[in-house]
Amino acid sequence: MGKGLLTALAMACGLALAAPALQAQETSSPAADPALEQKIRDYILAHPEVIAESLQKYQQQQEAAKQQSQAQAVKDLQAQLVSNPASPVLGNPNGDVTVVEFLDYRCPYCKAMHQPIADMIASDGNVRVVVKEFPILGDDSVLAARAALAAGKQGKYAEMHTALMTFKGKLGAKDIEAVAQEIGLDFAKLTEDMAAPEVDQELQQNYDLAEKMGINGTPAFVIGDTLIPGAIKLEDLKTHIATAREKAS
C-alpha cells in the first residue's frame, strides 16, 4: 500500500474516533473526496486486520498514558499515602520501606493476601504497612471498615483487622458485633466511635486518593514509587520491597 493511502487511512480512522467531538463544533470542513473514500473502504474490506492492529496500538497507547498518569499521581501523593497519621500502621512503624494497601474486608482477594502480608511482616522486621480502608463492595464493607478504624481508638486495630480478614462468611452487622466482643472491645464505645467525623474523613480521603491514582478495585498496593493493582504472590511482594529499599538507599 502506498504511503499516501496509509496516511489517508490513518486520517480516516482518526476522524472516525473524533466524530462525536467534531459534530459538536460548528466548523466547516472541505468536501469529502468520494474516490479517496472508496479507496479507503476497499482497502479496509480487503485487509480488515489493519483495524485490529490500529485498535491494539490505540489500546497500548492508552495503557501507557494511564501508567504514566498513575506513576505521577503516586509521586505527587506520597505524603498522603505514607504519612497520614489517621491511617492505621501494621508491622514496624519506623520501617525503612512502606507498603500501602487499599483493601475491603469483603473482598476475597484481599482475604487471600492477608496471610502473605502477615508472613512478610514476620520475615522482614523493617517493613511498615499502611492500611487504607477502601470499602467498595457495599454497606457491609463500609460498616466493617468503620469498625476496624474505630477499634483503633481502643488500641486494637490490628486485632480487629485480623479478625475481619480471617472471618468466613458474609460479614454483616451482627457478625461484626460478635467479632468485636470476641476480641474484647467495648462495643458501645466502638459503635459511638464508628460514627465519629474522623472516620468519615479517613474513608473519604481514601476514596479521593484511589480516584486520583485510578484505583478502582481491591487489593491495590503502593510500594515505593510503584502502584500494583490486584493480588500478588509473596515472592513478588518481597521483590518490590527489595527494589524500593534499594532505590531508597
pLDDT at 77: 94
Q: Is-contact 74 81, C-beta < 8 A?
A: yes
CA-closest candidate to residue 206, choices 146, 153, 160: 146
**What CA–CA distance (Å, rounded) separates 174 from 246?**
46
Q: Which long-range contacts (CB under 8 A, 24 or more apart) does 228-231 make?
A: 230/109, 231/109, 231/110, 231/112, 231/113
Grid cell for residue 108:
476475597
Question: Is beta strand 220-223 parallel, antiparallel or unpaired with respect to 97-103?
Answer: antiparallel
230 and 217 Cβ atoms separated by less than 8 Å? yes
Q: Which CATH number fits domain 78-248: 1.10.287.70, 3.20.20.105, 3.90.1300.10, 3.40.30.10?
A: 3.40.30.10
Q: How many CB atoms lie within 10 A of CB 201?
A: 11
Q: Tell me what pLDDT residue 188 has.
A: 96
Do 237 and 127 contact (CB within 8 A), yes or no?
Answer: no
Domain ranges of the chain: 1-20+34-47, 78-248
**Tens of pLDDT along the chain (249 residues)?**
444 444 444 444 443 444 444 444 444 556 778 888 888 888 888 888 888 888 888 777 777 666 666 678 788 899 999 999 999 999 999 999 999 999 999 999 999 999 999 999 999 999 999 999 999 999 999 999 999 999 999 999 999 999 999 999 889 999 999 999 999 999 999 999 999 999 999 999 999 999 999 999 999 999 998 999 999 999 999 999 999 999 988
60: phi then psi, degrees, rounded to nearest 5: -65, -40
Quote the strand ranges of the chain, DSSP E: 89-91, 97-103, 127-133, 220-223, 226-229
DSSP result, 39-99? HHHHHHHH-THHHHHHHHHHHHHHHHHHHHHHHHHHHHTHHHHH--TTS-EEE-TT-SEEE
